[in-house]
Amino acid sequence: MVRRAVCLWSAIAMLTTGFAGQADAGLFKKKCCGSVAATCCEAAPACGGCDSGCDACGGAPAGCSDCAAEAAPAPTMVMKTIMVPTYVTEMRTVTATEYKKEERTKTYTVNKRVQVSEEKTSTYTVMVPKTETKTVTYNVCKPVYETKTSEYTVMVPYTEAVEQTYQVMVPTYEDKTVEYTVNVPYTEEMTKTYTVMVPAYEDKTVTYTVDVPYTEQVEKSYTVMVPHTEQVTKTRTVSKMVPETVMKQVQVNTGHWETQSVAGTDACGCPTTCCKRVWVCGCETKEVPCTTYKCVTEEVPYTCNVTTCKPEAKTCMVTVNKCKQETREKTVKVCKMVPQEKTCTYTVNKCKPETRTKTVKVCKMVCETKTRTCNVTKCKPEVRTREYQVCKMVTEQATKEVQVTTCVPEERTKTYTVCKWTCVPEEKTSTYTVCVPVQVEKQVEVKVCKMVEKQVEVPASTDCGCAAPAAPACGCGG
**CA separation for the pair 332, 203 (Å, rounded):** 6
| Residues 6+ positions from 433 with CB-CB distance below 8 Å | 101, 102, 103, 104, 223
State residue 13's pLDDT score: 56
**CA separation for the pair 226, 213 (Å, rounded):** 36
State residue 14's pLDDT score: 57
Angle at 211 between CA 210 and CA 217, to 5 degrees: 155
State residue 73's pLDDT score: 67
**CA separation for the pair 50, 234 (Å, rounded):** 120
Compute mean pLDDT per 10 residues along the chain, 478 residues long, and list them. 52 53 42 39 40 43 45 75 86 84 87 84 86 85 85 87 85 86 88 87 87 87 85 86 85 82 75 80 84 86 85 87 87 87 87 88 86 85 87 85 85 85 86 87 85 85 46 39
State residue 29's pLDDT score: 42
State residue 275's pLDDT score: 81
State residue 45's pLDDT score: 40
Long-range contacts (CB closer than 8 Å, 24 or more residues apart) made by 367-370: 367/167, 367/168, 367/169, 367/170, 368/167, 368/168, 368/169, 368/170, 369/165, 369/166, 369/167, 369/168, 370/165, 370/166, 370/167, 370/168
State residue 6's pLDDT score: 46
